[in-house]
Amino acid sequence: MLQFVYDLNSGSDRQIVDAPKWVGAARFDIDARPDAETIAELDKLPTVQRTQQMKAMVRGLLADRFHLRVHQDTREFAVNALVVARSGAKLTPAPDPGGDRSPPGPNDWEGLRNPSRGHTVGHTTTIQTLVNLLNTEPELAGRLIVDDTGLKGEYNFDLKWTPERAMDASPAGGAELTWPSLFTALQEQLGLKIESTKAPVDCIVIDHVEQPSPN
């Protein structure tokens, strides 16, 4: 939840500083529902604004129920930076809907879908969403991935690669075994690549947090 509401990368907890051990181990059931008027207002917002508004609401919940107080800081880490390759980005900018947004139809969706292992389709999604996906892949584990592409806005893309876990499995695994490695697929299909470097990374420092009392 901290990673979500403070725009931290989902594949690493190094951006959360001075947290007690239970923050990364304890599990909670949270049932929080906005009222009908709030839902109607959220539905009118573009995706990015709607998500940021939802994050602000969850930050309020954490402050109320967990007495969470944080401040922001910057720390230098060894990172994997996602950058634009020399060939240039090969992402398709998503059309700007403009004006008032009507309720989405059954074929209108935003974000990522995974039709099969090693196959991710992005639709009206941001580079940060792609970075969050890459942070969960074993090929890139161990270092924080940061977006250094400079690409703003929302994009459509279709990324196919042979996952590391499939390479270790039986050769009869499936069609994904004919696809390139993740690093090659990023460069050939999206015009992006991974570079190892050190970089200042935004962090949150936990000033105070408590386990919530029962309702």
Q: Which residues, at least 6 apart from 133, have a Cβ–Cβ distance to it below 8 Å? A: 112, 120
User: In terms of C-beta density within 10 A (0-12 exposed, 13-18 middle, 19 or more buried), how is residue 87 classed?
Assistant: exposed
- pTM, two decimals, is 0.65
How far, rounded to the nearest angstrom, does the alpha carbon of residue 101 sit from its chain's CA centroid? 24
Q: Alpha-carbon distance 200 to 84, whole Å? A: 19
Q: Alpha-carbon distance 46 to 9, whole Å? A: 22
Segment (H or E) for 4? helix 2-5
What is the per-residue pLDDT for 138? Answer: 83
What is the per-residue pLDDT for 24? Answer: 87
What is the per-residue pLDDT for 147? Answer: 92
What is the per-residue pLDDT for 162? Answer: 93
Closest CA to 38 of 22, 50, 20: 50
Q: Which regions of the chain are under pLDDT 50?
A: 99-101, 170-172
User: In terms of C-beta density within 10 A (0-12 exposed, 13-18 middle, 19 or more buried), how is residue 194 classed?
Assistant: buried
**Cβ atoms 191, 89 nearer than 8 A:** yes
Q: Alpha-carbon distance 46 to 129, whole Å? A: 16
Write the DSSP symbol of residue 152.
Answer: -
Write the DSSP symbol of residue 107.
Answer: T
What is the per-residue pLDDT for 50? Answer: 86
What is the per-residue pLDDT for 172? Answer: 47
Amino acid letter, 183: F
What is the per-residue pLDDT for 126? Answer: 92
**Cβ atoms 160, 146 nearer than 8 A:** no
